[in-house]
Copies of this chain bind each other. A is one copy, B any other.
Amino acid sequence: MANLPDPIQNAAAAFDILPGVGPRAALRYAYFLVTQPKEVVERFSRALQGLADKIRTCDTCGQWSDRSPCSICADPARDQSILCVVATSPDIRSVEDTGVFKGRYHVLGGTLDPIEGRTPDTLTIAKLVSRLKSTPSITEVILALDADVPGDVTCLYIRKQLESFPIKVMRLARGLPTGAALEYADAHTLADALRGRREQ
């Protein structure tokens, strides 16, 4: 990057670490910010400093938050009888956006994939078990994990761990995504949709 001013190079190098952002896009972002009012760039800088300073994990559910317990765990209006197990913090937002779930969460920290070194002890499964032991109000656990092989393996493993609990262990339904055309559905999805068929 010959002859680029240091501040622009530094900003481009910073953007370059983001997932899916290459050197060209990173440089474009840096140049874009140069054209913005100084306050906008300073607000951006402060927002990132805020991330570095204020984000921690919730001791109860494990999600990223600026406080512990997080706003969901601390909310007395949330249903105490039902727990949704997700792989990562951003998954909580996806579930919240549905407006359908009013219980609490547990963040696993990923899914099992022994080939990638993601063994049970790298996840918070033991913490989930002890949380269920110490919270008898929980009568249902929903495993809201990806619909792929690591997701399936993780569901099976957790179900095994919870066998001795008087708890319903549920997982997300599989089938056609809303708006899907039958013609373009892949065979696996359609097979799942057939197996999971419901009365009209």
Check: A25 CB closer than 8 A to any chain B CB. yes
| Residue of B whose beta carbon sits closest to that of A52 | B41
A118, chain B: closest CB distance, angstroms: 15
- Which secondary structure dominates where chain A touches chain B? helix
Check: A3 CB closer than 8 A to any chain B CB. yes
Q: Are B45 and A52 in contact (CB under 8 A)?
A: yes
Check: A119 CB closer than 8 A to any chain B CB. no
Per the bound structure, the CA–CA distance linking A117 and B71 in Å amounts to 49
Check: A81 CB closer than 8 A to any chain B CB. no
Per the bound structure, the CA–CA distance linking A135 and B92 in Å amounts to 63
Check: A32 CB closer than 8 A to any chain B CB. yes
Contacts of A8 in B (CB 8 A): 51, 55, 64
Check: A115 CB closer than 8 A to any chain B CB. no
Contacts of A146 in B (CB 8 A): none
A105, chain B: closest CB distance, angstroms: 10
Q: Are B96 and A31 in contact (CB under 8 A)?
A: no
Check: A132 CB closer than 8 A to any chain B CB. no
A57-71, CB < 8 A from B: 64-67, 70-71
A5-35, CB < 8 A from B: 5-8, 10-11, 13-14, 17-21, 25, 27-34
The chain A residues found within 8 Å of chain B, CB to CB, are 1-8, 10-11, 13-14, 17-21, 25, 27-34, 36, 38, 40-55, 64-67, 70-72, 88-90, 92-93, 96-97
Query: Would you list 5 pairs from A and B whose C-beta atoms are within 8 A, ordered by A residue?
Result: A1-B93, A3-B71, A19-B29, A20-B25, A33-B48
